[in-house]
Chains A and B, each alone.
Chain A
């Protein structure tokens, strides 16, 4: 009886892991799309209104429904307004590490997002727009790739997780 209960727990545990990986992959796509939306809005704020970055980031964070990155944008804006000794790049990096590490974004996504911060803050309007456009291009490619792979990935995560669970059960029994 104990063996049966144990086996069920192992198999359901490993399935839950696979299910979670699948959910994370889906959440990543949602979050990448939100970042894309934010970038499009930031582009608009810079291009048409010439809004300064702290104000633009704060206003966008209030307009876009995003739980995972709201604190990030609000804090970047707040720190920029404090006019500390830190550069824009430092503030951007620190806040990514602080607020986005727990998001569904992968390390490569975060690295790309960090790189965006390297080029914001000191360039002229055209260069800002070009930098954001380039980032959006990368983002679109990532979203497209992630969308193409999601169904297959989820299938693999779920089946592999169940198989691993069964395999461990057999070994233990």
Chain B
């Protein structure tokens, strides 16, 4: 990898010198690098171009894990307590650092993770233009319809949603730009670092980061008056109630859910309300059939 690439520097700087040097001089294309995995007493592993690359000459030690965590947290683990409870920290560039170790439980909830021994750095790759094929489908004439992306994990639903947000916000040659409010409960859409989205979400987008979806959607309606609200991974009954509320306020919703197909969502006890009550009019179903992000089906209820 060429070390002058800003994105590589952003990722490499969290590692101790031994890993930094190795990564920079590996003959890798950053765009194909997906994950860097550190497991204590095990070799360094990278997921590159959907393949596993094991770098045997580096064995991960306690010292490497400690230094990496110091850099990830900017020497201030306390500043990331909420993120640690969720098991990941987002760093500059929108890359996600997943952690595992010993969970400390208090009153039945995870209070923190100590003895961190496993780190997984998932690199963020924004694919601009990946929603070109579905943007027209999500509109009826000039009007954006309530759109739901249905996809199994790892099929690119967040990437698609992110690009839809960007294009709806910026506007295209066919559609005018609209104010978009994003409730980014798990920091996956905007990948905010210290409140600043690291991914391009467009010029008319407001992001409420790390906020529960149900509460966040209502907050955004009151505070930012968006025309469109975007949420990822709808799942709870309270999310659906909030969606109903904001739809009644005249707001368009674009969202995503975990599922294999339209029928699969119909059978789920909570999510079937999204279909039975006709909350959404457009459904985009993704799969991995011909690679990540394959559009398996497009269903319109109007």
Contacts and interface: CB of A to CB of B under 8 A. Distances in A.
Nearest to A127: B78
B74 A53 contact: yes
Interface string A116-131: 0000111111011000
Given A83-B14, A85-B17, A46 B78 contact: yes
A80 B78 contact: no
Nearest to A54: B74
Given A85-B16, A88-B70, A53 B75 contact: yes
A85 B81 CA distance: 24
Contacts of B77: 122-124
Contacts of A97: none
Given A85-B16, A85-B17, A80 B75 contact: yes
B70 A121 contact: yes
B92 to A, nearest CB: 11
A121 B76 contact: yes
A83 B76 CA distance: 12
Contacts of A55: 74
Interface string B191-233: 0000000000000000000000000000000000000000000
A4 interface: no
Interface of B: 13-14, 16-17, 67, 70-71, 73-79, 81, 112
11 contacts: A50-B81, A52-B75, A54-B75, A56-B76, A85-B17, A87-B70, A88-B70, A121-B75, A122-B77, A124-B77, A128-B78
Given A122-B77, A123-B78, A128-B78, 14 more contacts: A46-B78, A50-B78, A52-B74, A53-B75, A53-B76, A54-B76, A55-B74, A83-B13, A83-B71, A121-B70, A121-B76, A122-B75, A123-B77, A124-B81
Interface of A: 46, 50-56, 80-81, 83, 85, 87-88, 120-125, 127-128
The 9 lowest CB-CB distance pairs between A and B, nearest first, are A52-B76, A125-B78, A52-B74, A121-B75, A83-B71, A52-B79, A53-B76, A50-B79, A88-B75
